[in-house]
Amino acid sequence: MSSTDLLNFGLYIDGRWCDSSDGKTFAVYEPATGNVLGHVASATTADVDRAVKAARAAFDSGPWPHTPPAERTQILQAIANLIDEHTSEFAELETRNLGAPLRKTLYVDVPWAAEHMRVFGDLARTHPYEPLPWTDMPTVSWNFVWRDPIGVCGQIVPWNYPLLMTIWKIAPALAAGNTVVLKPASYTPLTALYLVKLIDEAGLLPKGVLNIVPGPGGVIGSALAEHPGVDKVSFTGSTDTGREIMRLASNTIKRVTLELGGKSPSLVMPDADLELATDGVLFGVFFNGGQSCEAGTRCLVPESLHSEFIERLVARARSLRLGDPLDLATDQGPLVSEAQARTVEEYIALGKAEGARLVTGGKRANVPGFEKAPFIEPTIFTDVRNDMRLAQEEIFGPVLSVIPYRTVTDAIELANASHYGLGAAVWSRDIQGAIEVAKRLRTGTIWINDHHLVLPHAPFGGYKQSGIGREHGLHGLMAYTETKHIHVDLMQKRSGKLWWDALLPDVE
Ligand code: NAD
């Protein structure tokens, strides 16, 4: 990653790179070293306005919404191919900017981003026509549903899976024929910008179809959420920010998709394979350093297995390797920022004050060669009550709360006792029983004997305060369309006369 123009980026508006209107930039850091990785133009509200106007023109009078679906498919497949061809650059850049281990970015995040783009390429070709039942009431007609793109989509993404989140936003929007103004997170904007650079160099999209405006969320994200030229806002981030976005979007009744926070339970059933469940529960919580919305942060364990399972969890957690995120052997890198590490430390202190028992971790990890990096040890608390703040609030770091339960019914009640409802995992040998438990959990995704797998065809999103709407697959594509009913009167003039006669029976 030696090329400097790879790391310094402007705004991308109407098919051109440009400076922000006030010339300001912000620095982007590498959490493992504290070094500056690059500088990025910091958009102003005037820049947001320009970007929305460009996206508006590209939607209202440009070719994109009317491009034949098969052609859109080819373009999205070409973007997927670009990601594949540049896998190692994307993975290294993501790891350096986020701190996530290269093993994850290289083998999961980047290939997964290409795969999600490819699936939406396929879905773009899905004919947006839905026949309705034949009717002769009150006249013979042919009725069908046509799906239109919504228009200009303002898309705001968080810092925790920067490339994947970008793809999850732009792929369905572009597949359905919308135009986009994207705001990446300020900590981690580089892979989204690099993707736009590759798309621009390959000349894949008409100008104005994809615009990117990095900048401070409270200013740029808000400007997008309330801009009258934006038809839909799609936001992934915290529940508090989601609430604010919904409020701002309400002025112009924008379509809104919100993918928000979580406090997902991992339910270990009495018959679970404990070896499998130990690895699975730890993978559920510590993957990406605990910085995942769907992280399994509450582990519900039968009282009878509690001590044995804790022993297993602690032994395995202590074997995780913290180190240089660019080393393929590393399991957990530093957190994204010093600020995030401090938030996690505050929650660890809170957990102790609330009476939970710390059984492993709980402090900064000393990683030789990376003394200033924000590493936090994989941390496990037991004797946690589900009503403690430790078990109710999103920590977004490597902290697991273990909560004992008596009966499976109690476990389900505890799992549902949260204002979040994003995901849950059930660990059991009895698949039929696990499916019955899954049906009773109030969350958008339930993994049985697995965690984290967000499949490109499977709807993903939250119940309760974890969000509104679903991303991925056909559900995700539909969320970027307006539903239009087209009625064709097959009797032509006669139906109008029938209606008129019915309304005015006494008129000759
Ligand atoms: P955040 O809410 O602080 O920021 C998310 C994005 O919104 C960033 O781009 C930020 O700049 C922008 N933003 C901040 N304030 C804004 C405002 N007032 N108006 C408009 N935009 C604003 O979240 P974060 O810390 O970046 O990410 C972590 C959160 O994201 C966690 O709560 C996590 O659970 C959630 N998340 C959810 C999902 C999901 O699919 N449900 C996926 C990943 C992350």
154-213: per-residue pLDDT in tens? 999 999 999 999 999 999 999 999 999 999 999 999 999 999 999 999 999 999 999 999
What's the gap in Å between 316 CA and the centre of ligand 1? 31
**Res 499 pLDDT > 80:** no
Weakest-pLDDT range from 122-126, 238-242, 271-275, 294-298 = 122-126
377-404: per-residue pLDDT in tens? 999 999 999 999 999 999 999 999 999 9
309-367: per-residue pLDDT in tens? 999 999 999 999 999 999 999 999 999 999 999 999 999 999 999 999 999 999 999 99
Would you say the CB of residue 124 lies under 6 angstroms from ligand 1? Answer: no
> Distance (Å, rounded) from C-alpha 401 to C-alpha 266?
10
Q: Where are the domains of the chain?
A: 44-260+462-485, 265-448
DSSP string for 368-388? TT-TTS--B--EEEES--TTS
What's the gap in Å between 374 CA and the centre of ligand 1? 20
pLDDT category at 2 given cuts 50, 70, 90 is very low
pLDDT category at 501 given cuts 50, 70, 90 is low
**For residue 466, which atom of ligand 1 is closest to its CA?**
41
Q: Does domain 265-448 have CATH number 1.20.1730.10?
A: no
Report the candidate in 161, 112, 223 with the shortest Cα–Cα distance to residue 472: 112
Would you say the CB of residue 377 lies under 6 angstroms from ligand 1? Answer: no
In the chain, what percentage of residues exceed pLDDT 90?
A: 92
Q: Which residues contact 92 (CB under 8 A, 6 or more apart)?
A: 1, 102, 105, 326
pLDDT at position 128, please? 74
Would you say the CB of residue 236 lies under 6 angstroms from ligand 1? Answer: yes
pLDDT at position 508, please? 46
**For residue 225, which atom of ligand 1 is closest to its CA?**
20
Question: Cβ(425)–Cβ(280) under 8 Å?
Answer: yes
Catalytic residues: 259, 293
> Distance (Å, rounded) from C-alpha 459 to C-alpha 456?
8
Would you say the CB of residue 290 lies under 6 angstroms from ligand 1? Answer: no
**For residue 161, which atom of ligand 1 is closest to its CA?**
43
pLDDT category at 137 given cuts 50, 70, 90 is confident
Give the residue-averaged pLDDT of 271-299: 98
**Res 507 pLDDT > 90:** no
pLDDT category at 483 given cuts 50, 70, 90 is very high
Question: What is the average pLDDT value for the chain, to the nearest integer?
Answer: 95
Of 3.30.750.210, 3.40.605.10, 3.40.50.720, 3.40.1410.10, the CATH number of 44-260+462-485 is 3.40.605.10
Q: Do domains 44-260+462-485 and 265-448 have the same CATH topology?
A: no
